[in-house]
Amino acid sequence: MYRIFVDLKESIEDIYPGLHPDEVETIAKTIHDTWDYSTIYDEVIDQIDFVAARQDIDLEGKDAPFIPNHD
């Protein structure tokens, strides 16, 4: 399984190490609670198209479930 995971608190602390832990918590919670996850899918779709093109993988007509042929 391939997953992308971002620890918000750790990321905030890396970028702004001078923040107080309460400030980090407030920012992380707000980002988590209001994040528009659809933008992640948009980026994944762009990456699928890019990688498929570079690897000569044809995506045409493959946006429906794969049905194996039992001949």
Tokens of 25: 């918590």
Domain extent listing, the chain: 8-54
CA–CA gap between residue 19 and residue 51 (Å, rounded): 38
- Amino acid at residue number 66: F
The 10s digit of each residue's pLDDT in 25-53 is: 999 999 999 999 899 999 999 999 999 99
Contact assessment for residue 12 and residue 28, using Cβ atoms and an 8 Å cutoff: yes
Q: Stretch 58-68: mean pLDDT, rounded?
A: 90
Tally the C-alpha atoms within 13 A of residue 40's C-alpha that lie toward its C-beta. Answer: 7
For residue 58, pLDDT over 80 is answered with yes
Q: Look up the pTM and report it.
A: 0.69
